[in-house]
Each structure stands twice: as structure tokens, then as C-alpha cells.
Chains A and B, each alone.
Chain A
């Protein structure tokens, strides 16, 4: 934790800022990319959201109180950015968030940056039927393999509630895949 405090100091000090931010980028760009990609699904949108996320991280760093870990704070920003992006895009296209996600999943088959087959598409379709919170929990737990404790810190919920959410999500997905 002291290391983290020191690192944050480096990020705030104009002299060391660039090097520290470079390190932050190289440490977090891949996990945050996956996290955002799992929410917005296509590469180009992920690229936009990821850039915005890092710019926001940079802007708000001086307000970061160190109450939570840098890791979960950044994940939280990324999650908010991705969800806001999805809602705006849905609104712009006059669709509901679910309809937009379904459309994006249909487009995945033709996406050059997607090499999944039927089962991946089916799993994504099943996830879309879940409530937003369960979607997030499932994606973070199953795809990204984050620990419950980590997810709890990012989403601000208890581990118990998360376990229940994940359990519900898995059940619903299994029913969906079996019947489709």
C-alpha cells in the first residue's frame, strides 16, 4: 500500500508524471481493455472508451483519496465510462440497451477482431438477457477471473451479494443455452 501511495505521488509530481503515467498505462491497459470490451463488445468502441478512461484517470488523479485501491478505482471509472457509452449509443440509435447489445452480437460474426464460434455467440446472447448488475458480475468473474473481493471493491457491494448474483446469472445462462 505504501508503494501505491508513492506511485500516486509520482503520478502527481509534474517531474515524474510522464514516466509514472506510462507505467500506469502499461500495467492497466490490457486488463481494462478486456473489461471494457466485455461490456461494449466491439473493438473500435472499446478503443474510444479506453482512451476516455485513461484521460479521466489522469484528470481526476488529484482527487483520488486513496480510500480504495488504484486498481478498483480505475476499474470503476472504466465501468462507468463503458455503461455511459452504451446508453448514449443506444439513445442515439433509438434502441434499448438490450436491443443494441443484441445487434452488436449479431455483428460480431462479421467482426475481424472476433474469432469465436456458435457457443461464444450463444453465451453472449444469454448474458444480454440478464440484469445489468448480473451481467457485470458474470463477465468479471467468468471471463476476467477477478476475485470476489476485487469485484466487491469495484462495484461497491458485499461479497455475499456478489456470490448470489453470480449464482443467479449462471443458472439463467444455463437455462437459456439449454433451451436455445
Chain B
């Protein structure tokens, strides 16, 4: 087979055609598109602004919610001392004995440190208390 040489061949055209009058209408089409583009230009900026303000609003709302969420967690988990005391003394069925049962050595040591009883008071109590013997024998 004879080797094909591009330069020996007559010029090969692309063979591409365009529709009739294509170029007559083309510039009008582009000009219209360009002018539309000019007019529409306002909208994207407005849209962008709208999106931006929505975003800001969302961020502000979230920021405002942070302390509420934190507080909610605090109140739900940790009871403050007053509430606990009120509950224990008025609402529960716990009596002194139940409480004493729950005390360990460390608590008792703490208690003896805090409650400094003078000797006289102790004598008074011992003298006035009729059940003292019963307590001692226990």
C-alpha cells in the first residue's frame, strides 16, 4: 500500500458546514444574551445578600442558644444544696436512723470535729436524760 503523505495530497478540508444564514442571526443572538446579562446582574448580588443575611441570622440564633443549653444541662444534673435539704427534710421518708446508717468513719470524725460539746453540757444531758442507763448498756 502506498504511503500516505499529507503534503502530496490535495488539501483536505474539514467538510464542516453551517446552517444557512447562521452568521446573520448570530450576532443578534449574542448581543441579546449580553444585554440580558447586564440587566440580570443585579439579581445575583441581591440573592447573595439575602443568603448572607440568612446565614448571619442563623449564626446569631445558634450563638444565643449556647448559654441556654449550658444552663439546661446544669439544672437538670446538679441539684443545689438548699433543694436537697428541703427535699430530704420534708419530702422523703428518710429518718435520722437511715441517715446515721449512711455515715462512715470519716463522716463521724468530721462531725465530732464540728460539734464541740462542752463538758458541762454533756453532764447536763447525762443528768437530765432518764434513759441514759439504757443507752450506756447498749
Contacts and interface: CB of A to CB of B under 8 A. Distances in A.
Interface residues of A, number: 36
Given A25-B30, A55-B34, A30 B5 contact: no
A22 B24 CA distance: 12
A124 B4 CA distance: 15
Interface string A89-120: 00000000000000000001000011111011
Question: Which bracket fits the contact residues of B?
Answer: 20 to 34
A63 interface: no
A59 B34 CA distance: 8
B31 A113 contact: no
Contact of B6 (A26, A29, A58, A170): A170
Contacts of A113: 16-19
B12 A123 contact: yes
B75 interface: no
Interface of A: 18, 21-22, 25-26, 29-30, 33-34, 37-38, 41, 43, 47, 50-51, 54-55, 58-59, 108, 113-117, 119-120, 123, 142-143, 170, 173-174, 177-178
